Amino acid sequence: MASLTSYTLLCCLSFALLLSSVHSANFSDLFQPYWASDHFVMADGEPLELKLDNDSGCGFGSKKKYLFGQASMQIKLVEGDSAGTVTAFYMSSDGPNHNELDFEFLGNVSGEPYLVQTNIYVNGSGNREQRHSLWFDPTVDFHTYSILWNHDHIRFQVDGIPMRVYANNEESDGLILYPKDQPMGVYASVWNADDWATQGGRLKTNWAHAPFVSSFRAFEIDGCEAGGGEDGSIEPCDKEGGTNWWDAPGMSRLTPHQRRQLKWVRAKHLVYDYCNDSGRFAEIPRECKGKL
Is residue 9 over pLDDT 70? no
3-state SS assignment for residue 249: helix
Is residue 18 over pLDDT 60? no
Is residue 38 over pLDDT 90? yes
- Active-site amino acid positions: 100, 104
- For residue 227, what pLDDT is reported? 72
Is residue 170 over pLDDT 90? no
State the Cα–Cα distance between residues 75 and 160, nearest whole angstrom: 14
- For residue 289, what pLDDT is reported? 74
Residue 165: pLDDT band by 50, 70, 90 thresholds? very high
- What's the rounded mean pLDDT across residues 100-111? 93
- What's the rounded mean pLDDT across residues 81-101? 96
Of the listed ranges 33-47, 89-103, 146-160, the one predicted with least confidence: 33-47
Angle between helices 4-20 and 256-269 (to 10 degrees): 120
- For residue 19, what pLDDT is reported? 37
State the Cα–Cα distance between residues 58 and 39, nearest whole angstrom: 6
Query: What pLDDT, in 10s, does the model give residues 196-214?
Result: 999 999 999 999 999 999 9
- What's the rounded mean pLDDT across residues 59-67? 96
Is residue 83 over pLDDT 80? yes
Give the other-Cβ count within 10 Å of 164's Cβ: 25
Give the other-Cβ count within 10 Å of 172's Cβ: 6
Is residue 288 over pLDDT 90? no
Instruction: Quote the longest CA-to-CA distance of the chain.
Output: 57
State the Cα–Cα distance between residues 209 and 137, nearest whole angstrom: 19
| Structural domains of the chain sorted by starting position, each given as residue range(s) with its CATH number in brackets | 4-227+240-288 (2.60.120.200)
Query: What pLDDT, in 10s, does the model give residues 236-286?
Result: 666 555 689 999 999 999 999 999 999 999 999 999 999 999 999 999 898
- What's the rounded mean pLDDT across residues 59-81? 96
3-state SS assignment for residue 194: coil
- For residue 20, what pLDDT is reported? 32
Is residue 162 over pLDDT 70? yes
* Average pLDDT value over all residues in the chain: 87
Query: What pLDDT, in 10s, does the model give residues 208-233?
Result: 999 999 999 999 999 999 875 555 55
- For residue 256, what pLDDT is reported? 97
State the Cα–Cα distance between residues 224 and 196, nearest whole angstrom: 35
Is residue 14 over pLDDT 50? no
Residue 2: pLDDT band by 50, 70, 90 thresholds? very low
Give ∠ CA 171-69-148 in degrees, rounded to 5.
75
- For residue 171, what pLDDT is reported? 75
Query: What pLDDT, in 10s, does the model give residues 119-137?
Result: 999 999 999 999 999 999 9
271 φ/ψ angles, rounded to the nearest 5 degrees? -100, -35
- What's the rounded mean pLDDT across residues 44-51? 85
Is-cis flag, bond preceding 138, omega within 30?
no
- For residue 287, what pLDDT is reported? 87
